[in-house]
Structure 1
């Protein structure tokens, strides 16, 4: 199991209540072989909330996530705004996330956050929302709306729950999503560059340099600016991009390639302090 998966499951156990989970172990022993059967034998969804909740936990232990989600949703539907409903909303978010029903997990997690934003499990619920967006991030050749949503959701974890155990992974997920957004800009920029639509390509590379400087795309973005500006004959900007690249990443292969390109024209990296690239280079140095 991955580190993220382990953290999610361990927290779910804590939310559920380990003693309750252990108490149903005997019931589960005879039910592990058929994950499609509700081990609570289709008990009425109008049962008391604690009964439905414990049935949900029993189904989790048996691996019946769909049935577990149904039980937790029944608690919320039949006994809204109760303490059992609050606990069930967290567990429902967890089970839907584990089922890969990410849209449902997000909706349930957001409902929890709207109702109980300051509760002890709020950080976990918000983290599950972020993970559900993160799981849906696609390759850079496709739409990156889930990268944007991941950043928004995980930034809320960082800002509102800075002492929670999820902050480190939330920040890692933010970095990944930003890399994806920068990668999308690079993918489009390269498309224009290959077709010699230099101004259009420069606009995309500029977004990476100014908006996503601390991503894994920054070295190539600067090198592509050298390439595009050089092809247009705008040598001062090409030289500046190379100078910023060399100053920040002197051992980069992208810098070596950019330096070689300038040398072909009898040029070398040289920073023009008035260039937007030079100003962006200062941001790289300060880490902002």
Structure 2
């Protein structure tokens, strides 16, 4: 049996350990509250500096807020705000770094869609000359396509679709630039391939009509009459009233002058005949 002395000693030790554990919990909680308070202050300071226009100091404060209390739900928000601070003053390399770090550090955070959109916009605004550099264009398109696929019901998806349409116009413009160059040099096959890319991959752009006409023109020149007619039919079906269709019509009809005027003349004659016919009943 345990003696009274031993029993008292065990109880005393238990109480001492409990007391120490309770103090440790209290200290831990105090430290946690203090860290959260420091983080909150750093975040507020970052926001104030951002509004004041000092984006470098703002980004520094947001980074401090994240590091002070990384377990806080405000930590990932601070990371995004640091990226946004850089973005507002065109520090694009810093913006990309912060956003890519955020996406790696917080892969399941609820604001990921915003990070992808801001990343896409960072690449998008750096598009300068599509004839020289495609990297920014393709990087932007990749981010916007990801948003449409992963977050189709968000407002960001609507804007992403609009941005992709603009990007496709730029990419089609590059293809047309190269295609016309080959066309002027009588390099028919490279020209055909470029015009086909426009028709197959960028058929919603303003360049589709001309690309179809050029395919008619080149194939006809190469003696590929059936292939030429195929593209002519596509052009006629979709763009019958366009100038490019009239040019295509001339490829197959050398004596063609202006079919549209002829059609208008026929229409006027038809209307005049109807009016004269109506008079018989007046």
Q: TM-score, normalised by structure 1?
A: 0.70
Q: Is the 8 A contact 1:55 1:71 kept in 2?
A: yes
Q: By how many angstroms is 1:67 displaced? A: 1.9
* Inter-partner Cα distance in structure 1 for 2:230 and 2:114: 46
Q: Indicate the residue corresponding to 1:4 in structure 2.
A: none
Cα contact 2:213–2:244 (8 A) shared by 1: yes
Tell me how far apart the structure 2 counterparts of residues 136 and 265 of structure 1 sit (CA, whole Å). Answer: 49
1:188 to 178, 194, 201: 178
1:49 aligns with 2:36: no
Aligned CA distance change for structure 1 residues 265 and 101 (closer, same or farther; 3 Å): farther
1:26-41 paired onto structure 2 within 5 Å: none
Q: Residues 167 and 81 from structure 1, CA distance in 2 versus in 1: closer, same or farther, beyond 3 angstroms?
A: same
Closer/same/farther in 2, CA of residues 153 and 214 from structure 1, 3 Å limit: same
Unaligned 5+ runs, structure 1:
1-46, 267-288
* Pairwise CA RMSD: 2.1
Structure 1 outlier segments of 4+, above 6 Å? none
Q: How many residues align structurally?
A: 220
CA distance in 1, matches of 2:239, 2:71: 55
| Aligned pairs for 1:1-288 within 5 A | 48-77=38-67, 79-80=69-70, 82-264=72-254
**Is the 2:124–2:136 contact (alpha carbons within 8 Å) kept by the matching residues of 1?**
yes
Q: Deviations over 1:29-69 (max 9, x none)?
A: xxxxxxxxxxxxxxxxxx93222211110011112222212
Larger Rg: 2
Deviations 1:229-278 (A, max 9, x none): 23323222222211111111112221122212332289xxxxxxxxxxxx
How much has 1:210 moved relative to structure 2?
A: 1.7
- The structure with the greater share of residues assigned to helix is 2
For residues 107 and 170 of structure 2, what CA distance do their matches in structure 1 show? 29
Question: Matched residues in 1 for 2:137 and 2:221: separation?
Answer: 33
Instruction: Give the secondary-structure state (helix, strand or coil) at the position aligned to 1:48.
Output: helix
1:119 to partner: Cα distance: 2.6
Equivalent residues of 1:138, 1:144 under 8 A apart = no
Are the aligned partners of 1:144 and 1:184 in contact in 2 as well (CA < 8 Å)?
A: no
CA distance in 2: counterparts of 1:265 and 1:240, whole angstroms: 21
